[in-house]
């Protein structure tokens, strides 16, 4: 056998270099090369063959390995004799490629030839990190069928095209018979070759191996080139290359920039890193390689080339460096775009390539997994891309770049919030849209996208978005149809401050802030003086800033918070100072807060609202309060006012509604947006009559008002969109203390003082009439008169009858009404027939009767019904 091997060596290709050659002719396996593993269980016998000599124990596993990096363009040869009957427990594996020096480990990857096993075969297998070995070439069964002499010589070749050929000679010579060929490129790197044997007790010395030879006679091939930095290229070869690399062997086909250094990777010998003298140019580039040598001395003839597309070195985006510029939330009816929700993203930079890998698209508050952009995804300078669900990608393929993401969020038609977060969790972009942003009642019904006007003003809301004007309904993957210059020149306003607890104060601003600039605690001061330890902007929209105080606040003690030069996210400064008053809230008591205004019959497209008034001297927190509708059966449907803290200062107003944007749109000149509080839902308030109830967090009823459309001014032709307003803050929550809002303010004052409010009368006397001249025209100026009474105690009944100057009956205003000690009546200038009283003098005849004593009093007051010229 040794002579045969010598002959084979002489006949081998002269240029072939053996990477491993061991005949054990030196009588050992510990050097030239060194085999390691279960060394005590192997020996080199008298015939100079490697033989097992392990424990005579069934199930024993033995291994020996030696380093070898040959992987492609390689031939492996070895001789073996299994002097036993092979079976599932008696076989040998000769590993041609292994990635780690432990053939017994389940995670070892590579290729091996199995001798024996249940099929008694010679077969080539691939082993992955998980799972059982799989066939590459399935050899003929019963090839090794002897019970005591299974002699075989094996040759395996792997071409540079990853074609494997398995051959064997059952005489142990070199007249090979093919077992088959197959292509497999799964594993490209190797660290070791080795032998593995498992046996039953009687076969512990029955495995013989010899004549190992691994030959790589092929030059390396260049597989790919990748730009990993502006001045860095990484080249991948099909096999390990020589440790020493020369920069002179590498160049770009254009000649520039020059390669200044070339180095083989310290861990992966198939990689070479090139350093360039200048930044890579954009576009298609070709790398040329000459005279490169593999780890075994084979030199590539001619020039090797690889082409790459350099779109620039992708960088992770920062705040507002990746934008959502178009939103399709309601895709039906179809105007011309696919029937699918989508958003459009945009890279506003003229030079930077954005790395989207790991960027997340999500809706805050959703409990499911976010949509995540895949590794390697990029957005070129100025480029747009459609983002949609993973099953909708094909629908948008014709438009340009598309990212179909798993877990793409469902977009609400009416209103929603979308956030882009970097893979490090930082907020990149946030938008909270609503269907009012369309500014077109027809388009908001579906089929049209919302488009951003000015990408240089990314923090703006409704003022920088509108409905697409493109005939197809939108402009996915291209500039928006409404694109225009629309800069933000408005400084950020501090709307309010709120003590979340004794040591935390939250500031609410009117627009998105520069989260870095406003995180400076030195920008904020308190009066009376208190130390502020830190300031933390609250994402994802950065309209809030939380301040941490060094000492706890005292309940109901007012403080004034001043913010110096707050910056919005485009750099507008608030000026020298902007301030707000707050206090740590005190407990609420029954009567502290009353229902101040209610809109129960809104205009077409409008929504209800209920306004509450804090008529106490305390700072109150409405968190946990409930707003309800009491039904005729006395059951109450309630909805939460706020799940989070909301401060209601002394004299403060809050208008509660589901759509502050719609309320503000329908009452643009009489709404105070800072005093509108959005609720997820309102109780259902009937358009004709109902009862609104307010409860505190403990379920105590704070106030109740029974309303009816009959309480509106009879002169109004249409009461849709007209609210009922409280007249006097301290008065009762009864019909007589409410009046239709004035026409001069648009028929409602959500978040603002009521148009029909009157101050409480503080004078003395039994009866006071104010004003003595009034004009019932619903213009908000002396629309009605009030008759206040101050009695010496309870127990009176009262009647009020109104006569004109000729003594004719005009109105029976009050009939035998039980009276409190103090109160008032209002006359809206209408007669009993519901007609406006004629201009002139009128006499109010007041009768007071005390049944307990029989005491009766009569009074007369004169009033003038006027008219404006």
111, pLDDT greater than 70: yes
As a whole number of Å, the CA-based R_g of the chain is 44
Per residue in 517-542, pLDDT tens? 899 999 999 999 999 999 999 989 89
On the 0-12 / 13-18 / 19+ scale of CB atoms within 10 A, 290 is: middle
The whole-number pLDDT of residue 761 equals 61
How far is it, in rounded angstroms, from Cα 326 to Cα 178? 62
Q: For residue 740, which of 754, 751, 728, 724 has the smallest C-alpha distance?
A: 724
Task: Report residue 3's pLDDT band, with 50, 70 and 90 as the boundaries.
Answer: very low
Per-domain residue ranges of the chain: 2-216, 222-310, 315-467, 494-582, 593-745, 767-865
Q: What string of DSSP letters covers 479-509? A: --TT-------PPP-EEEEEEEETTEEEEEE
Phi-psi category of residue 77: left, alpha or beta, with phi > 0 → left and psi -120 to 50 → alpha: beta
Per residue in 33-59, pLDDT tens? 999 999 999 999 999 999 999 999 999
CB atoms within 10 A of CB 141: 13
Give yes or no for a contact between 796 and 848, defined as CB atoms under 8 angstroms apart.
yes
Task: Report residue 230's pLDDT band, with 50, 70 and 90 as the boundaries.
Answer: confident
Per residue in 346-374, pLDDT tens? 999 988 889 999 999 999 988 889 999 99
How far is it, in rounded angstroms, from Cα 462 to Cα 454? 12
The whole-number pLDDT of residue 12 equals 35
Per residue in 561-596, pLDDT tens? 999 888 888 888 877 778 899 999 999 999 999 999
The whole-number pLDDT of residue 869 equals 67
CA distances 592 to 630, 649, 726, 762, Å, are 21, 11, 15, 20
Per residue in 470-509, pLDDT tens? 999 999 999 999 999 999 988 888 988 999 999 999 999 9
How far is it, in rounded angstroms, from Cα 306 to Cα 238? 13
Mean pLDDT score of the chain: 91
**Where does 767-865 sit in CATH, by number?**
2.60.40.4070
Fold match between domain 2-216 and domain 222-310: no
Residue 353: φ, ψ to 5°: -95, 130
Q: Over range 121-140, report the average pLDDT.
A: 96
868, pLDDT greater than 90: no
Here the tokens at position 395 are 């629908």
Task: Report residue 18's pLDDT band, with 50, 70 and 90 as the boundaries.
Answer: low
3 state SS of 851: coil
How far is it, in rounded angstroms, from Cα 26 to Cα 47? 11
Q: Over range 315-336, report the average pLDDT.
A: 95
How far is it, in rounded angstroms, from Cα 434 to Cα 330? 12
Residue 92: φ, ψ to 5°: -130, 145
3 state SS of 359: coil
Here the tokens at position 272 are 């070479």
The whole-number pLDDT of residue 14 equals 31
How far is it, in rounded angstroms, from Cα 640 to Cα 628? 9
The CATH class given to the 593-745 domain equals mainly beta
Q: Which fold has domain 494-582?
A: Immunoglobulin-like (2.60.40)
403, pLDDT greater than 90: yes
Domain 315-467: homologous superfamily in CATH: Lamin Tail domain (2.60.40.1260)
Per residue in 53-85, pLDDT tens? 999 999 999 999 999 988 899 999 999 999 999
2-216: in CATH 2.60.120.200: yes
How far is it, in rounded angstroms, from Cα 96 to Cα 193? 5
Q: Which fold has domain 222-310?
A: Immunoglobulin-like (2.60.40)
Per residue in 796-816, pLDDT tens? 888 999 998 888 899 999 998
How far is it, in rounded angstroms, from Cα 312 to Cα 228? 10
The whole-number pLDDT of residue 9 equals 36
Task: Report residue 765's pLDDT band, with 50, 70 and 90 as the boundaries.
Answer: low
Per residue in 163-177, pLDDT tens? 999 999 999 999 999
The whole-number pLDDT of residue 763 equals 54
Q: Over range 249-265, report the average pLDDT.
A: 94
């Amino acid at each position: 056998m040794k002579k045969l091997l010598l002959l084979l060596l002489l006949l081998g290709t002269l240029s072939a270099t053996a990477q491993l050659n061991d005949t054990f002719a030196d009588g050992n396996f510990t050097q030239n090369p060194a085999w390691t593993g279960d060394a005590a269980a192997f020996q080199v016998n008298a015939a100079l063959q490697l033989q097992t000599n392990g424990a005579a124990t069934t199930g024993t596993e033995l291994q020996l390995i030696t380093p070898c990096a040959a992987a492609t363009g390689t031939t492996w040869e070895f001789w073996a004799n299994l002097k036993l009957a092979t079976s599932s427990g008696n076989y040998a594996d000769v590993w041609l490629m292994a990635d780690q020096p432990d053939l017994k480990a389940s995670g070892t990857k590579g290729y091996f030839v199995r001798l024996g096993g249940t099929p008694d075969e010679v077969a080539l297998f691939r082993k992955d990190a998980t799972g059982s070995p799989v066939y590459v070439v399935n050899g003929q069964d019963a090839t090794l069928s002897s019970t005591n002499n299974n002699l075989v010589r094996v040759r395996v070749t792997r071409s540079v095209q990853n074609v494997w050929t398995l051959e064997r000679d059952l005489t142990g010579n070199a007249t090979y018979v093919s077992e088959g060929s197959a292509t497999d490129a799964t594993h490209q790197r190797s660290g070791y070759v080795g032998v593995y044997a498992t046996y039953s007790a009687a076969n512990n010395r029955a495995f013989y191996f010899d004549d190992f030879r691994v030959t790589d006679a092929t030059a390396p091939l260049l597989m790919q080139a990748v730009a990993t930095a502006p001045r860095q290229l990484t080249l991948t070869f099909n096999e390990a290359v020589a440790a020493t690399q020369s920069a002179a062997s590498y160049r770009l086909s254009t000649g520039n920039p020059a390669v200044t250094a070339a180095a083989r990777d310290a861990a992966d010998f198939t990689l070479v890193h090139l350093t360039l003298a200048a930044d890579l140019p954009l576009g298609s580039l070709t790398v040329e390689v000459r005279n490169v040598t593999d780890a075994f001395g084979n030199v590539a003839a001619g020039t090797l080339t690889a082409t790459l597309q350099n779109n620039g070195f992708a960088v992770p985006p920062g705040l507002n460096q990746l934008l959502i510029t178009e939103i399709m939330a309601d895709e039906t009816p179809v105007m011309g775009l696919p029937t699918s929700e989508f958003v459009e993203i945009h890279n506003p930079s003229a030079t930077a390539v954005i790395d989207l890998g790991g960027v997340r698209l999500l809706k805050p508050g959703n409990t499911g997994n976010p949509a995540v952009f895949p590794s390697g995804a990029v957005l070129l300078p100025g480029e747009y891309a459609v983002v949609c669900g993973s099953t909708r990608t094909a629908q948008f393929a014709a438009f340009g770049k598309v990212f179909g993401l798993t877990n793409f969020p469902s977009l609400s038609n009416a209103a929603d919030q979308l956030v882009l977060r970097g893979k490090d969790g930082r907020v990149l972009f946030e938008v909270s849209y609503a269907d009012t942003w369309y500014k077109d009642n027809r388009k908001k019904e579906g089929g049209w996208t919302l488009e951003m006007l000015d990408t240089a003003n990314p923090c703006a809301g409704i003022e920088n978005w509108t409905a697409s004007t493109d005939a197809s309904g939108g402009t996915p993957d291209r500039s928006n149809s409404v694109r225009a210059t629309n800069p933000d020149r408005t400084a950020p306003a501090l709307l309010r401050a709120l003590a979340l607890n004794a040591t935390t104060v939250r500031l609410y601003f009117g627009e998105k802030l520069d989260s870095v600039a406003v995180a400076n605690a030195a920008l904020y001061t308190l009066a009376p003086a208190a130390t502020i330890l830190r300031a933390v902007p609250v994402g994802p929209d950065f309209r809030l800033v939380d301040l941490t105080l060094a000492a706890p606040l005292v309940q109901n003690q007012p403080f004034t918070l001043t913010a110096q030069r707050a910056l919005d996210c485009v750099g507008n400064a608030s000026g020298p100072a902007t301030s707000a008053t707050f206090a740590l809230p005190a407990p609420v008591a029954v009567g502290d807060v009353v229902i101040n205004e209610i809109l129960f019959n809104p205009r077409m497209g409008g929504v209800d609202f209920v306004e509450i008034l804090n008529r106490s001297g305390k700072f109150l927190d409405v968190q946990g309060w409930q707003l309800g509708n009491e039904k005729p059966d006395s059951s109450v449907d309630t909805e939460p006012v706020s799940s989070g803290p909301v401060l209601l200062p002394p004299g403060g107003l809050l208008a509660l509604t589901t759509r502050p944007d719609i309320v503000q749109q329908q009452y643009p000149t009489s709404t105070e947006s800072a005093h509108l509080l959005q609720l997820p839902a309102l109780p259902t308030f009937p358009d004709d009559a109902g009862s609104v109830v307010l409860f505190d967090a403990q379920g105590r009823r704070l106030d109740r008002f029974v309303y009816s459309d009959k309480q509106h001014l009879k002169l109004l032709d249409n009461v849709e969109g007209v609210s009922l307003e409280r007249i006097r803050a301290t008065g009762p929550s009864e019909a007589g203390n409410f009046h239709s809002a004035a026409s001069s303010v648009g028929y409602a004052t959500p978040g603002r003082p009521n148009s029909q409010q009157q101050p409480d009368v503080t004078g003395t006397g039994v009866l006071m009439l104010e004003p003595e001249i009034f004009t019932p025209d619903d213009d908000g100026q002396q629309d009605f008169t009030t008759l206040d009474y101050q009695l010496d105690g309870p127990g009176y009944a009262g009647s009020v009858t109104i006569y004109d100057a000729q003594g004719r009956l005009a109105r029976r205003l009050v009939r035998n009404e039980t009276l409190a000690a103090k109160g008032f009546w209002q006359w809206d200038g209408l007669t009993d027939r519901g007609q406006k009283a004629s201009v002139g003098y009128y006499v109010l005849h007041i009768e007071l009767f005390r049944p307990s004593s029989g005491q009766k009093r009569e009074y007369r007051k004169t009033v003038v019904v006027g008219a404006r010229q």
